[in-house]
Structures are given as structure tokens and as C-alpha cells.
Amino acid sequence: MKKTQITIDIELDENNVPEKMTWNAEDGGIEKEETKATMISVWDDAKKEALRIDLWTKDMPVDDMKMFLHQILISLSNTYERATGEEDVAQWMEEMAEEFAQKAAIKM
């Protein structure tokens, strides 16, 4: 069985606020790639709940965070459709993402 690893290294300030983050994915050829934000979700099958880690650096611009969240919403609709085959629900999710973009005044 093959194993692989994805890691995120986080440098914190004196108040434990992320100042710098880099990530590595050996199989993807990514080494010490800098990022300003990350969101990780894992499924706890025993509790039937999603567990999350949401981190962003203190210098992450608000407009970039809005775009990041918008793109996550779009990708969630794509993931939902691939996982369930329910095109109508995925389309509705994408429409919600576009409404979010309008309400958040995202500049694209």
C-alpha cells in the first residue's frame, strides 16, 4: 500500500495568530508553497459530523478572503454533484454561491 503526506507548516506570532503558512504535497510536486489561508474538513464517521480547521494569516486581505470563500462554495457544488449525481441540487448550490458573490461585493 502506498502512503503519501500533505503537510501545512504554520508560523505563529506571540499571540498564536498565523503569520506565515506553507504547504507541501510530495506527490503533487509542491514544496514549501506559501499560502494566506487554508480550510480543511474531515469526516468523523463515528459522530457523523464534519470537523474543520480554518486558518488564515493576519495579512490576508478581506477581498481575497471573500474570493477564497466564493471559490470554495463553487467547488462544493461540483463535489456535491460528483458525489451524489444530483445536478439540480448542485445547480442550486452554485446559484447560492453567485448570490453570495453579489452580496459580498466580490470584485472579479
**Residue 79 zone, left/alpha/beta (φ > 0; ψ -120 to 50; rest):** alpha
Average the pLDDT over 20-46 and give the result.
97
Q: Is residue 61 predicted with pLDDT exceeding 70?
A: yes
Residues forming a β-bridge with 56 = 37
Which pLDDT band, with edges at 50, 70 and 90, does 108 fall under?
low
| pLDDT beyond 70 at 2 | yes
Q: Which three cell numbers stand for residue 108?
A: 472579479
Burial class of 38 by CB neighbour count within 10 A (0 to 12, 13 to 18, 19+): middle
Express each pLDDT in 65-93 by its tens digit.
Answer: 999 999 999 999 999 999 999 999 999 99
User: pTM to 2 decimals?
Assistant: 0.88
